[in-house]
Amino acid sequence: MKKIWPFSFYFLNYAAFAALIPFFVIFYQGLGFNGTQIGLLTGVPPLITLVCAPLGTALADSTHRHKLIMGLGLASAVVMAILLPAFTSFAVVFGIIALYNIFISPVGSLADSATMTMLGDEKAKYGRIRLGGTIGWGVFAPIAGVLVQNYGLNIAFWTFAAIMLINVFVSQNFDFGKHEDHASSNGGMKTLLTNRKWIFFLLASFVGGLGAFSVASYLYPYMAELGATKTQMGIASFVATATELPIFFFGNRLVKRFGSQRLFLSALALMGVRSLLFAGASVSWMVYVIQALGGMMFPAMWLAGVSYAEENAPIGLKSTA
């Protein structure tokens, strides 16, 4: 019964993201922002996450207020979705997006940490729980495309806010396990930031995140340039999601067969190949083919990264790792 809460969390979290995140650049274009401004709005959030995610998770680990920090992060998403459509000034929009990313950045890591804790001796089945996120994205991506096609972009913001509000309450059912000794956490943090293996892994994760985020942010505007409709954009997301399903479901076998580090690096390289294929696409139907092939790469990288972090986390720093 415990597993229903993380599964539901991932389902709702990614359903909300599918309803809005891919439309952000189109929203910015509608406000008349230039390329530099849009680049800042899409490029700065990963940098904020780079800094604020470990700070937020470290705060949660040291104060044992994991649920509170998760709840605040999700609540900030609701506030962002309600406020953002009301403003057209770049400075105000940038400020709202920055604050949103500061608060939301530790949420995903905290969810993964709690999920691994709640799985106990069945940690290898993490992918089957994370599958909820893939299903959520797959279900809502085409729905969001149809809604935006018929009712405009504002409906995406309201859908996102409603789903995230429900998820605030779902997140409070997570179990983060027994509190580990904080003194060992301090020593562990130093180990985390000075260990060459960890530094390489964190840098590789950052690069992988940039690759995934660039596709998530710019795929829809790119498809619009190729003449695709909003509905076709939603279908493209659905295609990628459908190919993620078997990877998440059988991910434990992949990690066991190849090892977390080898699987992680292989997925990272193949994600780069996917971006090169996107660059060569000339018509919208080619995006479907690339999505079908590339949809398998992200879940492999995600599963391998979470497994590696769990295997190598210093005592008291599992959420941070």
Q: What is the pTM of this model?
A: 0.76
**For 263-291, how does the pLDDT look when each residue is reduced to its tens digit (9 = 90+)?**
998 888 888 888 888 888 888 788 888 88
Whole-number Å distance between alpha carbons of 3 and 100: 28
Domains in the chain, start-ordered, CATH in brackets?
4-312 (1.20.1250.20)
CB 25 within 8 A of CB 38: yes
Share of the chain above pLDDT 90, in %: 30
Name, in order, each residue with C-beta under 8 angstroms of 143's C-beta and a sequence gap of 6 or more. 19, 234
Query: What pLDDT digit, counting tens, does each position of 157-166 carry?
Result: 999 999 999 9
pLDDT in tens, 36-76: 999 899 888 888 988 898 889 888 888 889 999 999 999 99
At position 175, the amino acid (one-letter code) is D
The DSSP letter of residue 242 is H
> Which tokens sit at 144?
């969001």
Q: Alpha helix locations (H) across the chain?
A: 4-20, 24-30, 35-63, 66-83, 90-104, 107-119, 126-151, 154-171, 182-194, 196-225, 230-249, 251-258, 260-280, 284-294, 297-312
Q: How many CB atoms lie within 10 A of CB 187?
A: 14
